[in-house]
Amino acid sequence: MKPLILVFVLLLSPAAWSYTQFIGHGYTSCLNCHYNPSGGGPLNDYGRVVSATLISSGALYPKVWNEERVADSSGFFFRKPTQNWFRSQINYRGFQLVQNPGSTRSEQKRWINMQADARAIVKFGENDRFVGVANFGYSPVPENLKGEEPEWRSREHYLGYRVTPKVGIYAGLMDKVFGIKVIEHIAFSRQAPEVMQNDQTHGVLAHYLGESWEAFAHGFAGNLTQDEDLRMKGGSVSVERTAFGVHRLGASVMSSRNQYQELLSYSTHARLNLKEGSAVLTEVGQVQRKTDNGSDDRTMRYGLLQTYLRPTRGLYFLSNIEYFKRDTTESDYTVRWGPGVQFFPAQRLELRFDAYNTRSFSPDTSSKDSWMYLVQTHIWL
């Protein structure tokens, strides 16, 4: 059951087109295409046009359509918006899971519904100076937690105000700001500091966007729908600086605690533009964990390397390598790697294939490698 629980959250993304590899297209800041300056969640109008005219292949568009016609069709239900104050979006994501592929005894196949979201955005003022975002949707729950955790929840809801084009304040339920927001929510870089798919928090986010650097300061009180003793309260700071005009180098620090544990997380990362849509993402970090009774105090260490190669518009070849050391005082560690293919035939459709191999290294024990692959479908309006 444990591998299945991990897979349940592997490709769950509360965001459409929140892929950090798009720095390969020259977009260093998430604010270009998203209402949330840290990325994820609904796209703004510009982001929808970019996804239609630059990211997607256009293979399913009528041949007589030019880029302007494609851009006009990027709105809700293929329509160009007729007013400026309200936007709506719908998302569905599901995938075919295959465990132990090729095994005559233990191969298992299953279709899993991962995401079904409805989003509403209200916005006013020049350049969307005031925004309000609500995102409510389906969140799958593992079998052993059925009836204990809600399957439908608010993924995010917040109000935002751009004091100036460079400075913004956002308040409400959002993802914590830390490191690279990769789509794989059980990546060790998201699992160790607890910034996974259900770790949203109520708080206040301050954002600064300069000519060559960007900064975030996030103070949070935990998810207020949880019991008070479980809420992770604290704050984080993340800074990125543009290097050589097209790359981003950054660092993050986060401190959070509840009645049972205290976490101090810190990392450095890089998002590198390889031109023509290709990119390299890397992050290394540590998490110091202290428990209320000292029974599970430890320092965790992780590393992430992802490459995205774009041979043609709409098509990306992926590779993923992860390293995780559960306790830096011990010699055991885990490596997970695998290739993938991501294809956007049109602006509203994503197809993706991923294969994963997980290997544990220990001087005292040996275990077989774990293999699985996933075929994902993502549709949005």
Per residue in 352-364, pLDDT tens? 999 999 999 998 8
- Average pLDDT of the residues in 16-23: 71
State residue 144's pLDDT score.
62
Whether 17 has a pLDDT exceeding 60, the answer reads no
Counting other chains too, the contacts that 338-343 makes at CB distance below 8 Å and 24 or more residues apart are 341/315, 341/316, 341/317, 342/308, 342/315, 342/316, 342/318, 343/57, 343/314, 343/315, 343/316
Low-confidence winner among 26-35, 96-105, 174-183 (lowest mean pLDDT): 96-105
Q: 């070849």: which residue's tokens?
A: 317
Q: With 90 as the cut, is the pLDDT of residue 372 above it?
A: no
pLDDT digit string, tens, across residues 228-251: 999 999 999 999 999 999 999 999
> What pTM was estimated for this model as a whole?
0.89
H or E element: which one contains 50? helix 45-50
Predicted confidence at residue 3, as pLDDT, reads 42
Confidence at residue 58, expressed as pLDDT on a 0 to 100 scale: 81
Percent over 90 (pLDDT), the chain: 62
CATH class as words, domain 2-380: mainly beta
Pairing assessment for the beta strands 86-99 and 167-174 based on DSSP bridges: unpaired
Amino acid at residue number 213: W
Residues 162-186, mean pLDDT to the nearest whole number? 93
| Other C-beta atoms lying within 10 Å of the C-beta of residue 336 | 20
- Please give the average per-residue pLDDT across 267-275, as a whole number: 96
CB-based contact 265:254 (threshold 8 Å):
yes
Residue 242 to residues 28, 131, 245: CA-CA distances in angstroms?
8, 27, 6
pLDDT of 148 reads 64
Distance CA 126, CA 85 (A): 11
- Distance separating alpha carbons of residues 115 and 93, to the nearest angstrom: 5
**Which residues are CB-contacts of 346 (< 8 A; sequence separation ≥ 6)?**
56, 57, 58, 59, 60, 61
Cα–Cα dist 79/65, whole Å: 14
Instruction: Look at residue 142 in the predicted model and tell me its pLDDT.
Output: 65
Q: Which residues, at least 6 apart from 299, have a Cβ–Cβ distance to it below 8 Å?
A: 286, 287, 288, 289, 327, 328, 329
> pLDDT-derived band of residue 109, with 50, 70 and 90 as boundaries?
confident
